[in-house]
Amino acid sequence: MMMAPMDSAGLAAVNLANAADMPEAVLQWLAGQPLLTLFLVLGAGLLAGSVRFKGIGLGSSGALFAGLLAGHLGLSIPGGIGVLGIVLFTYCVGLAAGPTFFGSLRRQGGGLAALAAITVGCGAVTALGMAWRLRLSPALAAGLFTGSLTSTPGLAVALDALGEQGATATIGYGVAYPFGVAGVVLFIQLLPRLLGHALRRPDNEPDGTALERRLVEIVHPEFDGLAPVRLAAAAGAGDFCVSRIRRDDRLAPVAATDTIRTGTVALVVAPRNRMEGIVRKLGRESACPMLVDADHERAQIVVTRPELLGRALSSLDLLSRHGVVITRIARDGHTFLATTDMALEYGDIVTAVGTPETLTAFAHTAGHREKTLHESDLATLALGLALGVGLGLAPFGLPGRASFRLGLAGGPLFVALLLGHFRRRGWMAGHLPRAARQTLMELGLVFCLADAGVNAGGTLAPVLREHGLSLFFAGVLTTLLPMSVAYVAARRLLRFDLLATLGGLCGSMTSTPALGVLVAEADSGKPAASYAAAYPVALVLVAVCVHAVLRMLPLLLSAMQP
C-alpha cells in the first residue's frame, strides 16, 4: 500500500516538531553524561566569567552560575568533585599563606579573631531577627544562618542537634546557600570599586615599593670607617643594600675588607619610594657612569640547603663567610629587598653580587638547583592531602557534649599552613612551584563552584515555590548585613588595610570561593594569610551560634504569643 506524499506544510510541521524535541533529547542524553556535563559547565562558566563590563567580570565564579543553570535543567556532574575541589583549593591556599601566616597571626591575630566574631555574631543576630519576623521554625532558621555563611560544617552541627527535624534545616540551607556563595564573591569584587579602591595596581602605574639602583656619593663624614653592610643601620633612612663600591674607576662587588670614606661612590639598592630620602641622608647622587659586569658578578641562586633556612641574613654573615652580598629575594612571584632581618626560606631565589669565584662557591653552599623551581614533590602532596583530610574528619568536643569537625576545608588548610611555614622537614617538602600551585588552586576553585551551583540549582526553584521569596531575601540580608558591619569595623576600628580586610571577611564568612576570586583579582598572597587566621575562629563560632539560634528562637517566638 502506497502512502500519499506529504505536502510541504506537513514536512515543515514535522521539522518544527523535531527541532522542538531536539533540546529535550540533548538534555536527556547529557543527564546520563556527568563527566561531559562537568567540562561543559566549566568551559561555559569560565568563558562567561572572562567577559568584563567596565572592569567588572565574574571571573572564576562564572562556573557557579553555569552550575546553577545546569542544576536547574536537571543535569548532574560526577559525585565528589566539589569535595575534591575544596580539598585542593584550601591545601594550596595553606601552602601559599604558610610562610607569612604565623607572623600575620602575631601582628593581627587578635584583630582577625575579633573580625570573625563580629561577622558571625551579626549573622546569627540577623538570622534570629528574620526568623522572628517571618515566624520561621528553629530548624529553618539554623539552616538559613549556616547557608548564608556558606558553612557546611555548621549545617552538620545543626543536623546533629536536630535529629529527625534536620530536613527542615537543609531546606533553609538550600535557599540561602546560592546567594551566600555568590553574594560574598560579588561583595568583595564590587565594594572596592564602588568605594574607589583598586585591588590591583594598573600595569602602567609605577609601584613605589619596586626596587631600583642608584649611584650615591657619600659626603657626610659621620659614616667614615663603617663597613658597607652597616651603612643602612647607621643612616637611619630605611632599609637599603650596598652591592658595589667604586674602586679603581670601576664598580666592583663589596668585599669584607671595604670601609666607607668621604667621597666613596656606592651602588645603592632600595625601594623607589624611599630612594630620594636615602640619597639625601648619605650625600648626593653621583654622575659617574654605572658600568657593572652583571654577567659575571651577579647571579640568581636558588636556596635549598637546610643550614641557611630560617635564619636572618645578619646571622649568616654572607659577606665575611662567602664573599657575596644578597640584594634581592624573590619568593612566590614577589621580589623583596634583602634586609638584615629577613630569613631565607626553601626555594627562595636570591640575587647575589660577588666575584665569579665567590658566586660559584656560594651557589654550592646554598644548594642551588634551578630545576627545584619547577619540581613538584607529588609524594608529599598526596601525603599532605591525606593528613589534611584525616584531620578534617576528626571530631573535636564542644561544651554540652556537642562536637564539631574542621571539615574538608579546615583540615587540609591547617596541615598546609604548617608545611608551608616549615617548608621542609626531613623528606617532607612544604614547597610547590608557584605555577603548579596556582593551577591546582584554580582547578580546585572551579570544581567547588561548579558542584555548589549544580547542587543548589536543582533544589532552589522547588524550595522557593514552597516557601516564597521572603525566605530567599532573608538569606540575602543575612549574608550582606554581617559583611557590611564587619567591613566598617575592620577599616574604622581595627585599622586593617583593604586586602587584609577582604581576606578576613572571606575567612569570617567561611567562603573559600570568594577567597579564590579575591586572590586572582588582587594578584597578592596577603588576603590568604588573613583568611587563614579568621577562618578557624569563624568555623568554631558558627558551630556555637547554631546552638544559640536553636535555643533562643523558641524563647523569642513564645514571647510573642499573647
Q: How far is CA 265 from CA 18, 248, 285, in A?
A: 84, 11, 9
Q: In this structure, are 147 and 278 located in the same domain?
A: no
- Pick the last residue of a domain from 318, 349, 373: 373
pTM (predicted TM-score):
0.58
| Whole-number Å distance between alpha carbons of 210 and 337 | 9
- 520 class by beta-carbon count within 10 Å (0-12 exposed, 13-18 middle, 19+ buried): middle
155 occurs within a structural domain: yes
Q: In this structure, are 184 and 229 located in the same domain?
A: no
448 occurs within a structural domain: yes
Give the CATH number for residue 237.
3.30.70.1450
| 8-state DSSP, 333 | T
Tens digit of pLDDT per residue, the chain (562 long)? 444 555 555 545 545 445 445 577 787 888 888 899 899 989 988 888 777 665 555 666 678 778 878 887 888 888 888 788 878 877 887 777 676 666 556 666 678 888 989 999 999 999 999 988 888 888 889 889 988 988 766 776 676 677 666 657 767 777 787 788 888 888 888 888 888 776 665 544 444 457 888 999 998 888 888 888 888 888 887 788 898 988 877 888 988 888 898 889 999 988 888 888 889 899 899 888 777 766 678 888 888 787 887 778 888 888 888 889 998 888 766 677 888 878 887 778 888 999 889 998 998 888 876 655 556 677 788 888 899 889 888 887 666 666 667 777 778 878 887 887 776 655 566 667 777 887 887 888 788 778 767 876 766 666 667 666 788 899 999 999 999 999 999 999 988 888 889 988 998 998 877 887 787 777 666 787 788 778 777 877 887 788 888 888 888 877 765 4
463 occurs within a structural domain: yes
| Whole-number Å distance between alpha carbons of 479 and 457 | 19
Q: In this structure, are 369 and 416 located in the same domain?
A: no
Q: In this structure, are 388 and 519 located in the same domain?
A: yes
Strands in 298-302's sheet, in edge-to-edge order, are 298-302, 349-353, 325-331, 334-337
| Whole-number Å distance between alpha carbons of 463 and 169 | 12
Q: In this structure, are 345 and 383 located in the same domain?
A: no
| Whole-number Å distance between alpha carbons of 273 and 206 | 10
Q: What stretches of 398-525 show up as alpha helix (H) in DSSP?
A: 407-422, 434-467, 469-488, 498-508, 512-522
- Output the nine-digit C-alpha cell for 222: 659621620
| Whole-number Å distance between alpha carbons of 226 and 156 | 64
Residue with the three cell numbers 535557599: 175
108 occurs within a structural domain: yes
Residue 214, Cβ neighbours under 10 Å: how many? 18
90 occurs within a structural domain: yes
Q: In this structure, are 216 and 83 located in the same domain?
A: no
Q: In this structure, are 337 and 382 located in the same domain?
A: no
| Whole-number Å distance between alpha carbons of 351 and 318 | 13
Q: In this structure, are 402 and 517 located in the same domain?
A: yes
| Whole-number Å distance between alpha carbons of 175 and 61 | 19
492 occurs within a structural domain: yes
Cα 284 from chain centre: 43
- Pick the last residue of a domain from 342, 373, 404: 373
| Whole-number Å distance between alpha carbons of 461 and 464 | 5
Residue 467, Cβ neighbours under 10 Å: how many? 17
Answer for the pair 45, 67: CB distance below 8 angstroms, yes or no. yes
Q: In this structure, are 364 and 382 located in the same domain?
A: no
Domain count, the chain: 2
215 occurs within a structural domain: yes
- Pick the last residue of a domain from 373, 393, 415: 373
- Output the nine-digit C-alpha cell for 337: 629587598
Helix axes 138-148, 526-560, angle to 10 degrees: 160
Q: In this structure, are 227 and 138 located in the same domain?
A: no
Q: In this structure, are 220 and 194 located in the same domain?
A: no
| Whole-number Å distance between alpha carbons of 205 and 425 | 41
DSSP secondary structure, 341-396, as one string: T-BB-TT-EEEEES-HHHHHHHHHHHT--GGGGG---HHHHHHHHHHHHHHHHSEE
25 occurs within a structural domain: no
The parent domain of residue 350 ranges over 211-373
Q: In this structure, are 195 and 267 located in the same domain?
A: no
